[in-house]
Amino acid sequence: MTRSDDVINEDGHDVIAAHTRVVRGMAAALAAIAATGAGVTAAAANVMFTFALDTKAKRSMFNMPHEETPKGIEFDMSEQLEAARWFEEAKQSVTLRSHDGLKLHGWLLDPDCSDPQPHLYAICCHGYAGEPAEMAKWAHRYAQLGFTVLLPAQRAHELSEGRYVGMGLLESDDLLGWVSLITAADPDARILLHGNSMGAATVMMAAGDARLPRNVVAAISDCGYSSVVSQFTDNAEAMFRLPHSLAVLLVKVASHVSERKAGYRFEDASCVKALRHATIPMMFIHGGADTFVNPKYLDINYNACASIDREKLLIPGADHTMSASTDPDRYWRRVNSFVKRVFGL
């Protein structure tokens, strides 16, 4: 059994621009409703759903002007630039048809080392409102270990079709489709799943899915929430300063909107429920200064995981998905150790 904790001390960094836009944008979108005293209504819930999950709506977070990257993000720019150049030069286009008919797009990258490992694959899933290129640093690290790497674009992101974001639930089905694409081409494939933020939720929900093939050997979750209900409830309390009971009601009504429009309920998008059925080795990572997804979810997800082989890593001072930049030596030493041990490298 492997159950290890690792804690470091380091100053925090600014949250990345995409998540700053989420907080500011949704707060502005619902401010008028809150100010009128209308309370938690179907209108407020519809605004919440539309802004956060409808990528085609005029008043969607996905259609807001992008801001400049905040100061403090450039601290590991050299590695990021190297990985970005490698990604642009090496990426190969690949497509997949989802279970509900969407054309999904991804980028395939060959190993970047002198001794590529046969049958080894890593799938790296980006976060909410992100794109595959943001995972280039992780992809390059795995490619240097000998993995062939796939960076899928989540539905309704980058070149993938779709309108509504599934917050990891719909995307976990898509991830199983990407896994099947690999195993169809290489029945002996041994696959690592890695996800950041919403990508982490995607990975966790897939890891606990009964359909997960044995080809998937291990999974890594970086800054994942425990469920969509808990994450949206946290957002409602923090951004609108709603009492817990009203925040819960707002999210419950928004879940009904989601069921009607996007085909899923927030209650069904639970990493905790999925992890209770996970049996593969898993590693959970979180930044202790995460201002977007509460660090409390590190222990919640870790404790929910049924696998007897699981590890966790907390990086105090690291903001959302910034652990690998806040202390890259500690982060990659632990990640590499986990991957090499599980895959026998």
Record the pTM: 0.88
Task: Name the DSSP class of 75.
Answer: G
Token duo for residue 191: 């696959």
Cβ–Cβ < 8 Å for 125, 140: no
Task: Name the DSSP class of 117.
Answer: P
User: Domains of the chain: which residue ranges?
Assistant: 1-14+77-227+269-345, 17-68+228-268
pLDDT of residue 21: 56
Cα-Cα-Cα-Cα dihedral of 55, 194, 272, 205, to 10°? 60
| Sheet architecture: strand order including 310-315 | 92-97, 103-109, 148-152, 120-125, 190-196, 216-222, 282-287, 310-315
**Digits of tens for pLDDT over the chain (345 positions)?**
444 444 333 333 333 455 555 555 555 555 544 544 444 578 888 988 999 999 999 888 898 775 544 333 445 678 889 999 999 999 999 999 999 999 999 999 999 988 888 999 999 999 999 999 999 999 999 999 999 999 999 999 999 999 999 999 999 999 999 999 999 999 999 999 999 999 999 999 999 999 999 999 999 999 999 999 999 999 888 877 788 988 899 999 999 999 999 999 999 999 999 999 999 999 999 999 999 999 999 999 999 999 999 999 999 999 999 999 999 999 999 999 999 999 999
Position 234, amino acid = D
What is each CA distance from 195 to 11, 192, 343, in whole angstroms?
A: 24, 10, 18
pLDDT of residue 42: 81
The CATH topology of domain 1-14+77-227+269-345 is Rossmann fold (3.40.50)
Token duo for residue 187: 């029945």
- Cα torsion angle, 123, 129, 133, 134, sign: negative
Strands 92-97 and 103-109: antiparallel
Cβ–Cβ < 8 Å for 285, 312: yes
Write out the DSSP string of 170-235.
Answer: HHHHHHHHHHHHHHHH-TT-EEEEEEETHHHHHHHHHHT-TT--TTEEEEEEES--SBHHHHHHHH
Count CB atoms within 10 A of the CB of residue 1.
Answer: 6
Token duo for residue 70: 């905040």
Cβ–Cβ < 8 Å for 274, 209: yes
